[in-house]
Structure 1
């Protein structure tokens, strides 16, 4: 039997669960790997599939799919999910991950980690095992953790308890905190257990045994109680890392490994609302697991809570002002001012940007102060699509944030860049002074006029006041212009940008940079070209609410029995519109069962959704208002009377619609009007007028 790599195992799991052909780019995006890696591993996967009586089919422009009977596909999925790490062809990185997990206590409890176990489990020689352990020793030493060999030949790691837990958390985070948590919470007897095993793969499931024998449900209840005590909810993506860290804490405490010394100043803690939430979480843990948490562990929980982003909702009481909130507010003021100066526009008037940054920056400051790194799955895409804006934010953060808490890592910079990118998308279009340009061209008149027309079309603030051939230009007698765009180099007092007459992408970018420089000198508003240079093409082409919503996607005063029926009714509209497959609706319900109240994102408003690979065909949004509100399980935002069901296909194509929805959710009066709408026309009018 052919041995699969862990990556090939996950690729086949995605294709086996798909109902139709999947483009390889979509498979790559679902797994967070390059498309070329998918192509490479599919060659190995096709051989494995043949042994299961199945055939891998591919077609250019369509994608890949697995051909065979449904019974054979089900059987193959079960075999795929039951593969142990010892049955996989592990690359060096995966081998080191498994070895480190064993050293931290994964796998069979009480079983010593020695050369014999490593070579048997990983299918490697003593020499390879020795080489892997040398690499691990270097990795651990950088984290103040030592790897030593005992007299009996077994290996042992030793170091600060906080450091050991952080290493274990980083291992699990490789597969995504949300995926690992859902796998743990489902349990082996859940109908969805096989699905989660396939999502994680054998290596991910093996690493997850670091949390074996920890019942996750009490932690969910403890975190919900903590949210109630501080009258705010943890942002949905951030709550899963928090839950994993708490599960690690419980696992280690139950095994007798505790943190005694506080990691935070206890005098500072008393001033923070998060401290009360942490104390509530600690009480829930003590009561549920029958253990006592010393001051150091409670302090650690407080640090975890502080490092987790919270989201207050319209109508919710504001959290008390504290010293960290004040510091975050001052930094936001300076950061927005610095970025505005560098861009040549005033973002300080955007109250939504300030509010979002303030909520975002408080946990960022804690993470930076305690060197708590985070994984940003969007980092590469943000840096690729916002190259100019990323550099601007990076420079501003080095001036404003770094002197206070040290250098800001790229993962945090990418999140900050996304906030500023959203603000640029909201920025009003320019209505004031225009820039004047002279076009100097060495080609014929037709080429010159094409260049001038292209300039005015691409840069709406730019007026081409004259076109002159190169041979007749007198640089001492230029007209009154702000800029010269020339196809040949010129020496004059007015700024000159040399371009190709056809204006390729590189020349457009250079022009945008020059316009931005001119604006910084004396103008206060950005040109459309500058905003275009700072906003990614995916954002510029993302859909707005007016493009997504129509009469077939809204339903008014719908009677439902419970929350799940409400989700299914909203999902049914997406199916009828062709935006999703039917399985996407069940995936939304399954997500709600797993994350529960976290989809209730404002008072009386739920936003159910699932992953793109769960059956999303294109971006879609539906709205259902309920005849009678129903509870979704949220402590402060229940009952729900409005359900927005959403489907996305990537990270960017829906950003504009979400920005507009955020504006709606922040306006209690508009939300009230949405609830009171009695016809589809009235509902659409209220929603779309709220964002125009």
Structure 2
């Protein structure tokens, strides 16, 4: 193709284009094609929506990272925050939701947290339509306001990272008779170690979230408990390794659990806290990380979670910059 294009140069210059120059030009064309492909991966802005803004949407984000790398997840919100988010932020290309919703003027796809092949095909078909529409579009010039927003955002991520590392605990040989007793003891532990304004409300919100469906990795005997609540004033991440197994009810049967990852956050806490905390959820697809949580020493488990938070911080501020 470059040889054909060089004929235009030969006519314009009145001189032949040597073979080595054609090869050199072909390298430039190849680089341009690769750069265009890389740039295309950053064009598709996606918003994730689930019932609480954490949990299943973070599992979905991990699947997107593996199966749809051309998507850039700009945020994860709960259903009740959706309208406000869309009003206050730049438009997105797609909304992926684990709940059935209907929206005007926005592409909304209802998907499972594990992204089936049919769902991926539908999304890719829509992305191809968006790519065609966006061809020839130019990025807006960087201005003082956008620089100021970026600096403020990076600072908020820094504060979120410091707070999460401060409020990250690993508790070994935690004892409980059953799941309900375990929840009671977790709430009591949170009240002793974090800023909990209403333990009863926090417990009720945690139990209500659990009734929507447990999050459980059966082969690893690892479960997640998480919620947002007005009963707690700060984000807390705790890993409880149980002295003996506790049964979880799932689909009419009992599954033994030995490790419980708990995330408790204020109802209206900074979104940066939840974005960073979700990095731990997304890392649950990585076997070395899971082994650190379930079989490593308390120090190794804590260090592994801190590393994931720091790595997520670098990734998130990299997107901002």
Please report the TM-score for the alignment, with normalisation by the length of structure 2.
Answer: 0.51
User: What is the CA–CA distance in structure 1 between the aligned matches of 2:106 and 2:261, rounded to whole Å?
Assistant: 30
Q: Is 1:532 matched with 2:150?
A: yes
> How far off its partner does 1:351 sit?
7.4
SS in 1 for 2:259: strand
Q: 1:415 to 1:624 in 2, by over 3 A?
A: same
**1:654 equivalent among 257, 266, 273:** 273
* Structure 1 counterpart of 2:42: 340
- Find the partner of 2:241 among 619, 625, 638: 625
**Aligned counterparts of 1:549 and 1:408: Cα–Cα separation in 2:** 38
CA displacement at 1:562 relative to structure 2: 1.1
In the TM superposition, what is the alpha-carbon distance from 1:576 to its structure 2 partner? 1.4
The 2-side partners of 1:637 and 1:669 are apart by 26
Whether 1:670 and 2:307 are equivalent positions in the alignment is no
Give 1:446-457 correspondences, 5 Å limit.
none
Residue of structure 2 equivalent to 1:567 = 183
Partner of 1:223: none
Q: Distance in 2 between matches of 1:408 and 1:589?
A: 29
In structure 2, what is the equivalent of residue 684 of structure 1? 302
Question: Separation in 2 of the partners of 1:376 and 1:647?
Answer: 18
Paired with 2:222 and 2:40, the residues of 1 have a C-alpha distance of: 36
For 1:496 and 1:338, locate their aligned partners in 2 and report how far apart those are by CA, in whole Å: 18
Q: How far off is 1:542 after superposition?
A: 6.8
Shift of residue 556, structure 1, vs aligned partner: 0.8
Q: Which has the larger radius of gyration?
A: 1
TM-score (norm 1): 0.26
Match of 1:440 in 2: none
- CA distance in 1 between counterparts of 2:160 and 2:106 reads 26
CA contact (8 A) 2:174 2:240 kept: yes
CA separation in 1, counterparts of 2:164 and 2:109?
28
What is aligned with 2:52?
Answer: none
Q: Distance in 2 between matches of 1:558 and 1:574?
A: 13
Whole-angstrom distance in 1 between the partners of 2:186 and 2:67: 28
- Matching of residues 553-592 of structure 1 within 5 Å: 553-580=169-196, 581-588=198-205, 590-591=207-208
Task: Measure the CA separation in 2 of the matches of 1:538 and 1:604.
Answer: 37
Q: In structure 2, do the counterparts of structure 1 residues 609 and 551 end up closer, same or farther at CA, with 3 Å as the change threshold?
A: closer
1:301-450 matches, within 5 Å, as 338=40, 340-341=42-43, 353-355=64-66, 376-387=79-90, 390=91, 393-394=92-93, 409-410=104-105, 412=107
Tell me the CA shift for residue 671 of structure 1.
Answer: 1.0
CA contact (8 A) 2:169 2:238 kept: yes
State the shift of 1:604 in Å: 2.7
Query: Aligned partners of 1:686, 1:496: CA distance in 2, in Å?
Result: 39
User: Larger relative contact order (C-alpha < 8 A, sep ≥ 6)?
Assistant: 2
Taking the aligned partners of 2:190 and 2:305, their CA distance within structure 1 comes to: 18
Matches for 1:280-295 after TM superposition, within 5 Å = none
Aligned length: 213
**What are the equivalent positions in structure 2 for 1:423-572 lying under 5 Å apart?**
507-509=143-145, 512=146, 529=147, 532=150, 540=157, 543-544=160-161, 547-550=163-166, 553-572=169-188
Q: Is the 8 A contact 1:624 1:642 kept in 2?
A: yes
Cα deviation digits, residues 149-168 of structure 1 (max 9, x gap): xxxxxxxxxxxxxxxxxxxx
Distance in 2 of aligned mates of 1:653 and 1:624: 24
Alignment of 1:101-180 (within 5 A): none
Displacement of 1:634 in angstroms is: 2.6
Gaps of 5+ in 2: 1-36, 46-60, 72-77, 95-101, 112-139, 312-321
> Is the CA contact 1:383–1:414 (under 8 Å) kept in the aligned structure 2?
no
C-alpha contact 2:205 2:229 (8 A) present in aligned 1: no
Counterparts in 2 of 1:548 and 1:414: CA distance versus 1, 3 Å: farther
Partner of 1:49: none
Please report how far the alpha carbon of residue 408 of structure 1 lies from its aligned counterpart in structure 2 after TM superposition. 7.3
Contact 1:616/1:648, CA 8 A, preserved across alignment: yes
Structural mapping, 1:140-289, within 5 Å = none
Answer yes or no: is 1:643 the counterpart of 2:260.
Answer: yes
> Which stretch shows the higher mean deviation, 618-627 or 569-578?
569-578
- Runs of at least 5 residues in structure 1 that lack an aligned partner in the other structure: 1-334, 344-349, 361-374, 398-406, 417-494, 498-506, 513-528
How far apart in 2 are the matches of 1:336 and 1:567? 46
Kindly indicate whether the alpha-carbon contact (under 8 Å) linking 2:164 and 2:277 is maintained by their aligned counterparts in 1: no
Structure 1 residue 540 displacement after superposition: 4.0
Displacement after TM superposition at 1:639 (Å): 2.2
Equivalent in the alignment of 2:128: none
Listed one character per residue, the Cα deviations across residues 508-567 of structure 1 (whole Å, up to 9, x for unaligned) are 23xx4xxxxxxxxxxxxxxxx59939x9689746723x6324588321122221112222
- Indicate conservation of the 8 Å contact 1:612/1:647, yes or no: yes
Quote how far apart the aligned CAs of 1:410 are. Answer: 4.7
